[in-house]
Structure 1
Amino acid sequence: MSERKRVLVVDDEMLVAMMLEDMLDDLGYQVVGPAGSLKQAMDLAESETLDCAILDLNLGQGVVSTPVAELLRARGVPFLLATGYGANAETDRLGHAGLLPKPFSTSDVEAALKSMLG
């Protein structure tokens, strides 16, 4: 059996993070996290072996996950931005990151990950 791909999950909404964790587990991925804060996300993004990540762009109270995305990009780890706002200046600045529009289904997550990971 091949090793499960490791996906960092970053979302400040615990119910969304838990739902995404269940979806990823059902799809055969290993979840790293989930991280609910920028600090926790940065620590995991820096220290863990990752195949990819799904980042909630808006972490609440004006905090965005852009620093995590930039760290992942520097490490060569592909990521998806989960957002209910669609493409905007922040997502455009992050360039080649895929978008995972909220709300999403298991099939949306599966398709986005397959597209990103090949």
Structure 2
Amino acid sequence: MDPASHDGMPIDVLVVEDDPIIALDFEDTIHGFGVKSVRIAATVAKALELIEDKPPQFALLDVGLIREESFAVAERLETLQIPFAFVTGYGADAMLPTAFATRPRLPKPCSTDALRALLTSRGINS
């Protein structure tokens, strides 16, 4: 089992988000939960680089980045069996590929409680 903090939180979370304000908000909130490392990537290339450098224990993926979608990151995480969830301003209307249709997703903005629950469960049964 992956190491986790005493409350079940992952120790390292990757946030793939192209809006710097939203990324900083996620980072501050997740650090507030006691997560030791929160890494931010604004592009698919940067996210894949960070995953290659050190696979995270959990990832939050904004579906729509500036000029791309995060599905290549999702595919890599799935290959590595790293749990992840999508975060999107489109909510339930976000069109996800069939392979990811059952993945957990949070709306943007999301409540602190919903984010905490997702990280604690690492997307299981979300």
Question: TM-score, normalising length from structure 1?
Answer: 0.86
**Given that residues 104 and 123 in structure 2 are in contact (C-alpha distance below 8 angstroms), is that contact kept between their aligned partners in structure 1?**
no
1:70 aligns with 2:75: yes
1:99 aligns with 2:105: yes
Give the corresponding residue for 1:84: 89
Q: Give the 3-state SS of the residue equivalent to 2:109 in structure 1.
A: coil
Q: Give the 3-state SS of the residue equivalent to 1:89 in structure 2.
A: coil
Amino acid at match of 1:55: L
**Given that residues 9 and 31 in structure 1 are in contact (C-alpha distance below 8 angstroms), is that contact kept between their aligned partners in structure 2?**
no
Q: Which moved more, 1:42-51 or 1:12-21?
A: 42-51
CA offset digits 1:20-75 (Å, max 9, x no partner): 000000001133421011110111122213111011111123x1000000000000
**Given that residues 30 and 38 in structure 2 are in contact (C-alpha distance below 8 angstroms), is that contact kept between their aligned partners in structure 1?**
no
Query: 1:40–1:106: structure 2 CA closer, same or farther, 3 Å change rule?
Result: same
Paired with 1:108 and 1:98, the residues of 2 have a C-alpha distance of 11
Give the corresponding residue for 1:116: 122
Amino acid at match of 2:64: N
Identical-residue share of aligned pairs (%): 34
Q: How many Å apart are 1:92 and its aligned residue?
A: 4.3
Give the corresponding residue for 1:22: 28
Q: What is the aligned-residue RMSD (CA, Å)? A: 1.9
Query: 1:91–1:113: structure 2 CA closer, same or farther, 3 Å change rule?
Result: farther
Give the corresponding residue for 2:53: 47
Paired with 2:66 and 2:39, the residues of 1 have a C-alpha distance of 18
Q: Which 5+ residue runs of structure 2 have no aligned equivalent?
A: none
Query: How many pairs were matched up?
Result: 116
**Given that residues 23 and 106 in structure 1 are in contact (C-alpha distance below 8 angstroms), is that contact kept between their aligned partners in structure 2?**
yes
Q: Which 5+ residue runs of structure 1 have no aligned equivalent?
A: none
Query: 1:51–1:91: structure 2 CA closer, same or farther, 3 Å change rule?
Result: same
